[in-house]
Amino acid sequence: MMKKISVAEATLNGNERKYVLDCLDSTWISSSGKYITEFEAAFAKYCDVKHAISTNNGTTALHLALVGLDLKPGDEVIVPTVTYIATANAVRYCGATPVLVDCVPGTLNICPDSVEKAITSKTKGIIPVHLYGHPANVPAINHIAAKHGLWVLEDAAEAHGAEINGIKVGALSDCATFSFFGNKIITTGEGGMITTNNDQLAERMKLYRSQGMDPNRRYWFPVVGYNYRMTNIQAAIGLAQFENIEEAIAKRDQIKARYKENLARLSSDILFADETPGYRSVCWMFNIFLSKGFAYERDRVRDALETAGIETRPVFHPMHTLPPYKEERTFKVADEWCQRGINLPTHLMLTEQQIDFVCKTLVEATR
Amino acid sequence: MMKKISVAEATLNGNERKYVLDCLDSTWISSSGKYITEFEAAFAKYCDVKHAISTNNGTTALHLALVGLDLKPGDEVIVPTVTYIATANAVRYCGATPVLVDCVPGTLNICPDSVEKAITSKTKGIIPVHLYGHPANVPAINHIAAKHGLWVLEDAAEAHGAEINGIKVGALSDCATFSFFGNKIITTGEGGMITTNNDQLAERMKLYRSQGMDPNRRYWFPVVGYNYRMTNIQAAIGLAQFENIEEAIAKRDQIKARYKENLARLSSDILFADETPGYRSVCWMFNIFLSKGFAYERDRVRDALETAGIETRPVFHPMHTLPPYKEERTFKVADEWCQRGINLPTHLMLTEQQIDFVCKTLVEATR
Ligand SMILES: Cc1ncc(COP(=O)(O)O)c(CN[C@H]2[C@H](O)[C@H](O)[C@@H](OP(=O)(O)OP(=O)(O)OC[C@H]3O[C@@H](n4cnc5c(=O)[nH]c(N)nc54)[C@H](O)[C@@H]3O)O[C@@H]2C)c1O
Ligand SMILES: Cc1ncc(COP(=O)(O)O)c(CN[C@H]2[C@H](O)[C@H](O)[C@@H](OP(=O)(O)OP(=O)(O)OC[C@H]3O[C@@H](n4cnc5c(=O)[nH]c(N)nc54)[C@H](O)[C@@H]3O)O[C@@H]2C)c1O
C-alpha cells in the first residue's frame, strides 16, 4: 500500500531531543525554565523587536494581545472575512465585535480599501492576517490606522519569517501573534508568541498571561488574568526548531517552485497567488485555485486526491458564511475565491516524486 | 551553602523519559497522539467516571466545564471565598458572577450552611473546592443543589486521589476539574482534566475544547470555541506520573505524619486541620495555622523560614479581599484563619531531616 501524503507534518531532526531531555533531567517542565526565556529572546531578535512573549497557543496569543490592547465590550475590530476562525473568536472573547471586510484576489489577504469603509466611531483596531504565508498589506493598513487613531495587530500565525521590504512580519505594526501548532513552519506541538516594541503593552501582557498575579506579592491578584503560559518543554522544542528556520523556509520555497513549475506546465485551469514586489512570502501552505466551478467542484477534486492518498485542506470558509458570524451581504472576492481554493501538501518530508504525483493527480481530477 | 528547600518540586523518575522520547520519535507532539487518549482513559478509570477530558491547564479546565454547563452572562455561581483565584476567574470569563461564601475552620473548605443562604433566583451552580487535598463536603452541597435544581462542579485541582466514603473526588458531583501544574500531586508541566459521567456534557466540552469545529466538516465552526487542548507530550508525562500516583500519595501521607508528630511535640501554638471521618485527604500541601496573631506575624514567620532557606506559601488571600472581587462585608472564618496559614514544603524529594529542620525552624520563629 502507498504511504499517505499528509498535508502537513512536524519535522524534529535538530536539537529537539537534546533540549527536551535537558528539561526532563533538570525536572523543569512547567512554565518556569531557561528555554522559555531563550526561545523568547531568540524570536524577538529574529523579528527585530524588543519583546517576544510566549503563550500556550496561537489563539491565546491573539486573546492576550487584545487584552493587552485593552479591548472592551462594545468596541469594534476590523478583521478579514477570510481567516482561521480564531482571529475573530479572540475579539469575541473580549466581548467586542469583529467587523468583517473583504479580501484581495490570490493571496486572499485583507483589502485595505474595504477597511477604510468599515471604520466607525467604535472601531479600536485592525487585524491584518498574513494568510498562508503571504504578507498582508500592512503598510497601507498602518496608514489608515494612523489617520483614525487605531492600533494594528498582525495575525502572523501562518507566516513566520515573511517580510515586507526587509522588515519581518511581527515587526510591521503595534503587535503581532504567531502559532506553533504541529502544522506550522516551526512548531512547539501547541504554542504561540506575541511580538511588540511597546514596553508597557509587553508588561501588561505578561501580567495577564500569568493569572494577573502581582509579581511582588504571592497570590495577590490586582486583575482577572489567564493561564496562557508556554511550558519549558514546548519552548525547548521551539528553540530547536527555530535553529533550523532558514533551512525550513528554503525547503518550502523549493516545494513551491516545483508545484508552480509542474502546474504551469500541465494545466491552464489552475491558478495561484502572484507575489507582490518587495514582499517576501514564505510557503506555509501551497495554495491553488480552480479557475472555474463551485464549491462542489472543489470538493470533488479534494475527494479524488483523498482517494489517491493525498490529504488536502479547503481554503477557509469565509467567516460571514459560518453560523457565529453569519451575514447576508456578499463579499465579492471572498465569495468567489474561497470555494475554489485547496491547500496542497507542504512540509519538509515531501519528496519531489510526491510533489509530481500530487500535481498529476490534481490535474487529472480537474479535467 | 545549604540547599534551599522548595515548597514543591516535580519528580520524574518513572516512564516520563521513555514516553516523551516515543512522542518525539513518532513526531506526534501536538494535540494529536495516542498518549492523550491513554491518559484520559487511565484517569477516567481511576476516578471511576465515564469521561475524562484533558485540557492545557486547570484554569482552562474550569472555564471549559462552565462553558459545557452553559453558564451565561447574568448567571450566578456560588464559590468559596478561600480558593486560588482561578476558580472565580473562570466564572467571570463566562460573564457570570461568582457569589462568595465563607469556609469552615481547619480545612478552609466551603461552608454548606453559607451556600444555602447565598442562593438566589439567578444561581445556576456551586463550585466546592477540595483545598490543599482535603475533600470539601460535597454530599451536603449535592443535597442543597438537588433541592434548588443547581449543578455542582468540584474544583479538584489540589486533591487528586482524595475520597469521601470510598468515592474519589472527580466522581462526587456533576463534573470536576483537575490541575497538573508542576507543583501538583501528579504533573504534566502545565495541564488540566475534566471528569464527568454526563455524555452530553462531555460531547459539548470536546467540541468547545477544539475551536468549536464540526468533527465531520473541516474548518466549519458551528460555535465560538477555544483552543484548550493538551499536547501528546504533556499527556505522555501525565501517564507516566499517573503510573506512580499511589506511591506519591503514600509518600505524602508520611510527610504529613512526620510534620504532625514533630509539631505536636514541639509546640502547642501551631494548629492544623482535623480529618473528617470517612474522608480520605491527600496531602497536596501540608498546611499549618499560627494559633494567634495577625497577617504581619505570619509574614514574619515566613520571612524567618525564607532566611533559613525554606520556601513557603501563604494560605490564599480570601477573594473578597482581592481587588477584582473586593467586598466590605466580613467572612468570619476566612478572615480569621487565612491570615494565619502557611503551606510548608511538601514534595517527594523531601527528606526526614529536612522535615525536622523545617519544624524546628518554624517553632523557633513562632516563639
Ligand atoms: C490565521 C490563524 N490565526 C490563529 C490561529 C490559531 O493558532 P493555534 O492553532 O491556536 O495555535 C491559526 C491556526 N490555524 C490552524 C490551527 O492550528 C488548526 O489546528 C489547524 O487545523 P487542522 O487542519 O484541522 O489541523 P490538523 O488536521 O490537526 O493538522 C493539520 C496537519 O498537520 C499534521 N500534524 C498536526 N500535528 C502534528 C504532529 O504533532 N506531528 C505530525 N507529524 N503531524 C502533525 C496533521 O496530521 C495534518 O496533516 O490548521 C489551522 C489552519 C491561524 O491559522
Ligand atoms: C484550586 C485551584 N483551582 C484552579 C487552579 C488552576 O490550575 P492551573 O494552575 O491553571 O493548572 C489551581 C492551581 N493553583 C496553583 C497554580 O498552579 C499556581 O501556578 C501555583 O502558584 P505558585 O505557588 O505561584 O507557583 P510556582 O511558584 O510557579 O510553583 C510552586 C512551586 O512548585 C515548584 N515548581 C513549579 N514547576 C516546577 C517544575 O517544573 N519543576 C520543579 N522541580 N519544580 C517546579 C516551584 O519551584 C515552587 O517551589 O500554585 C497555585 C496554588 C488551584 O489551586
What is the percent of chain B where pLDDT is above 70? 99
Q: Is the pLDDT of residue A245 over 70?
A: yes
Q: Is the pLDDT of residue A1 over 80?
A: no
List the 9-28 stretch of B: residues with Cβ below 8 A of A.
9-12, 16-17, 20-21, 24, 27-28
Dihedral sign (CA B36, B40, B41, B42): positive
Task: Kindly state the cell numbers that stand for B96.
Answer: 457570570
Name the amino acid, one letter, at A255.
I
Q: Are A232 and A28 in contact (CB under 8 A)?
A: yes
By C-alpha distance, the chain B residue nearest A16 is: B24
Q: Are B283 and B355 in contact (CB under 8 A)?
A: no
Distance CA A257, CA B30 (A): 28
User: Grid cell 526532563 — which residue?
Assistant: A24
Closest by Cβ to A24, choosing from B12, B190, B229: B12
The pick from B7, B85, B183, B350 for probing ligand 2's pocket by mutation, whose C-beta has the most ligand atoms within 8 angstroms, reads B183
Q: Is the pLDDT of residue B83 over 60?
A: yes
Q: How far is CA A66 from the centre of its chain?
A: 16
Pick from A366, A337, A364: nearest CA to A80: A337
Q: Is the pLDDT of residue A342 over 60?
A: yes
Pick from A188, A206, A160: nearest CA to A35: A188
Distance CA A344, CA A358 (A): 8
Cα angle at B121 between B116 and B123, to 5 degrees?
A: 60
Q: In the predicted model, what is the mean pLDDT of residues B287-293?
A: 89
Mutating which of A92, A224, A349 best tests the B interface, going by the most B Cβ atoms within 10 A?
A224
Give the mean pLDDT of chain A. Answer: 97
What is the percent of chain B where pLDDT is above 90? 96
3-state SS assignment for residue A174 = coil
Helical segments of chain A, H only: 16-26, 34-47, 58-68, 86-93, 112-118, 138-148, 199-209, 232-243, 245-266, 295-307, 332-338, 352-366
Residue B2 pLDDT = 67
3-state SS assignment for residue B271 = strand
Residue B203 pLDDT = 98
Q: In the predicted model, what is the mean pLDDT of residues B283-289?
A: 97
Pick from A302, A294, A291, A281: nearest CA to A344: A302
Residue B9 pLDDT = 97
Residue B275 pLDDT = 87
Distance CA B57, CA B179 (A): 6
Q: In the predicted model, what is the mean pLDDT of residues A37-59?
A: 98
pLDDT in tens, A311-320: 999 999 999 9
- Lowest pLDDT segment from A4-13, A164-173, B10-19, B288-297: B288-297
Pick from B177, B181, B246: nearest CA to B9: B181
Q: Which class for A318: exposed (0-12), middle (13-18), buried (19 or more C-beta within 10 A)? A: buried
Q: Is the pLDDT of residue B294 over 80?
A: no
Task: Kindly state the cell numbers that stand for B109.
Answer: 473548605
Q: Are A18 and A154 in contact (CB under 8 A)?
A: no
Closest by Cβ to B189, choosing from A30, A57, A237: A30
Distance CA A358, CA A273 (A): 19
Task: Kindly state the cell numbers that stand for A261.
Answer: 513549475
List the 267-286 stretch of B: residues with Cβ below 8 A of A.
none
The DSSP secondary structure of B34-71, one letter per residue, reads HHHHHHHHHHHHHHT-SEEEEESSHHHHHHHHHHHTT-
pLDDT in tens, A118-129: 999 999 999 999
List the 317-346 stretch of A: residues with Cβ below 8 A of B.
317, 322-324
| CA-based R_g, chain A, Å | 21
Our CA dihedral for A105, A177, A342, B217, rounded to 10 degrees, sits at -120
Judged by its nearest atom, the ligand closest to the C-alpha of residue B226 is 1
pLDDT in tens, B11-57: 999 999 999 999 999 999 999 999 999 999 999 999 999 999 999 99
How distant, in Å, are the alpha carbons of A343, B96, B114, B148, B320 from that of B75? Answer: 43, 5, 19, 15, 19
Q: Is A181 on the interface with B (CB under 8 A)?
A: yes
Pick from B151, B143, B101: nearest CA to B123: B151
Q: In the predicted model, what is the mean pLDDT of residues B235-245?
A: 98
User: Grid cell 483565584 — which residue?
Assistant: B85
State the pLDDT confidence band at B3, using cuts at 50, 70 and 90. confident
From first CA to last CA, the distance across chain A in angstroms is: 26
Residue A319 pLDDT = 98
Pick from B228, B233, B258, B243: nearest CA to B344: B258
pLDDT in tens, B200-209: 999 999 999 9
Q: Is A217 on the interface with B (CB under 8 A)?
A: no
pLDDT in tens, A163-192: 999 999 999 999 999 999 999 999 999 999
| Contacts with A211 from chain B: Cβ below 8 Å | 59, 85-86, 89
pLDDT in tens, B302-340: 999 999 999 999 999 999 999 999 999 999 999 999 999
Name the amino acid, one letter, at B196.
T
Residue B74 pLDDT = 97
Q: Residue A113 phi/psi, 5° resolution? A: -60, -40
Q: Are A342 and A287 in contact (CB under 8 A)?
A: yes
Residues in chain A: 367
3-state SS assignment for residue B307 = helix
Distance CA A191, CA A183 (A): 11
Pick from B276, B308, B252, B355: nearest CA to B107: B276
Residue A274 pLDDT = 87
Interchain contact, B224 vs A32, CB within 8 Å: no
From first CA to last CA, the distance across chain B in angstroms is: 26
Q: In the predicted model, what is the mean pLDDT of residues A89-100?
A: 98
State the pLDDT confidence band at A296, using cuts at 50, 70 and 90. confident
Give me ligand 2 centre to Cα B190, in Å. 9
Residue B160 pLDDT = 98
Distance CA B187, CA B183 (A): 7
Q: Tell whether ligand 2 has an atom less than 6 A from the beta carbon of residue B179.
A: yes
Interchain contact, A27 vs B11, CB within 8 Å: yes
By C-alpha distance, the chain B residue nearest A323 is: B222
Q: Is the pLDDT of residue A353 over 80?
A: yes
| Contacts with A223 from chain B: Cβ below 8 Å | 323-324
Dihedral sign (CA B169, B175, B179, B180): positive
Q: Is A72 on the interface with B (CB under 8 A)?
A: no
Atom of ligand 1 nearest to the CA of A182: 36
Residues in chain B: 367
By C-alpha distance, the chain A residue nearest B213 is: A85
Distance CA B155, CA A288 (A): 48
In angstroms, what separates the C-alpha of A84 from chain B's closest C-alpha? 8
Distance CA B286, CA B344 (A): 6
State the pLDDT confidence band at A2, using cuts at 50, 70 and 90. low
Residue A105 pLDDT = 96
Atom of ligand 1 nearest to the CA of A57: 11
Q: Residue A241 phi/psi, 5° resolution? A: -60, -45
| Contacts with B225 from chain A: Cβ below 8 Å | 89
Distance CA B260, CA B254 (A): 10
Distance CA B326, CA A357 (A): 65
Q: In the predicted model, what is the mean pLDDT of residues A1-28?
A: 94
Distance CA B139, CA B108 (A): 17
Residue A295 pLDDT = 73
Cβ contacts of A174 within 8 Å, gap of 6 or more: A69, A151, A152, A153, A196, A198, A201
Residue A98 pLDDT = 98
In angstroms, what separates the C-alpha of B170 from chain A's closest C-alpha? 22
Name the amino acid, one letter, at A227.
N
Give the mean pLDDT of chain B. Answer: 97
Cα angle at B236 between B235 and B241, to 5 degrees?
A: 90
